[in-house]
Amino acid sequence: MQRPLSGIDKAKEQNKIAELTEQITKLGEINITAIEEYEKVQERYKFLQEQQEDLHKSIASLHQAINKINRSIEKDFFNTFNALNNQFGQTFKRLFQGGEARLSLTQEDDLMESGVDLIVQPPGKKLQNIALLSAGEKALSALALLFSVFMLKPTPFCLMDEVDAPLDDANLERFSQLLQELSTQTQFIIITHNKRTMAWANALYGVTMEEEGVSKIISVSLKDPQEATVQL
């Protein structure tokens, strides 16, 4: 059924036509490839979405692996820490001929970020942090910890540089005896000027200058003092 023309508001219809024409003009030229472009963009979007999902899965899997590794590390660290703490106390008592020593965690609730403090009590002194000790006591406490590590897990060799310098004769004797025992599993190379330490060595290496400006390396084998050999 056609609408009678007499009932049409021509002015209103003209305005509407003008408005629609303006909107069509603003749309610009018709893109006849719009459907193809849309399909390509849609395909690209789907591909990127799948990649994003795979990435999220990989991140979640990585976090799971990290958490598993962290739990394993924390367990191993805790067990090793307890074993080392016990051994450190025993070695400290031997080197100091008494006293108490222990290891303390700075953050017990976060083993991955925790540090370790050395709390020691030499005979006749109060329990305190190693930083408050004398130079000789610091050196002997550090050696007690180092030797404790070697007792739990020996290494092929160890290089020490003047570690015996702050030690008095009594402490040096105990240090040398323990060093001799550990040398069955670890080869110790010690840089020292102390004669008492040298007396425990199996071999000595030194530098001499018989002539001005001419240096020589000398090695002395002390495995059998009666058959000591010197090489230049």
pLDDT in tens, 10-19: 777 788 888 8
73 lies in some domain: yes
Q: How far apart are CA 141 and CA 154, in angstroms?
A: 19
Per-residue pLDDT, 226? 53
| Residue 46, both tokens | 């789907």
pLDDT band at 4 (very low <50, low <70, confident <90, very high): low
Per-residue pLDDT, 86? 94
225 lies in some domain: no
Spatial neighbors of 51 by CB under 8 A, at least 6 apart, are: none
Nearest 10 degrees: Cα torsion 79, 81, 87, 89: -130
229 lies in some domain: no
Per-residue pLDDT, 169? 86
**Which one, of 132, 114, 117, 113, lies nearest residue 85 by Cα?**
117
Structural contact between residues 203 and 221, judged by C-beta atoms closer than 8 angstroms: yes
Q: pLDDT at residue 170 above 60? A: yes
pLDDT band at 219 (very low <50, low <70, confident <90, very high): confident
191 lies in some domain: no
218 lies in some domain: no
103 lies in some domain: yes
161 lies in some domain: no
150 lies in some domain: yes
pLDDT band at 232 (very low <50, low <70, confident <90, very high): very low
Per-residue pLDDT, 89? 92
The stretch 180-199 carries a mean pLDDT of: 88
Q: pLDDT at residue 209 above 50? A: yes
Spatial neighbors of 171 by CB under 8 A, at least 6 apart, are: 95, 96, 136, 140
Domain hosting residue 74, numbered range: 60-155+168-173
End-to-end CA distance of the chain: 126
**Which one, of 46, 180, 96, 15, lies nearest residue 88 by Cα?**
96
Give the DSSP H/E element, type plus range, for residue 55.
helix 34-96
CATH number at residue 124: 3.40.50.300
| Residue 220, both tokens | 């002395």
Tell me what the pLDDT averaged over the chain comes to. 84
Structural domain total, the chain: 1
Q: What is the pLDDT of residues 50-91, one digit of tens each?
A: 999 999 999 999 999 999 998 998 899 889 999 999 999 999
Q: How far apart are CA 211 and CA 195, in angstroms?
A: 25
Q: How far apart are CA 118 and CA 46, in angstroms?
A: 59
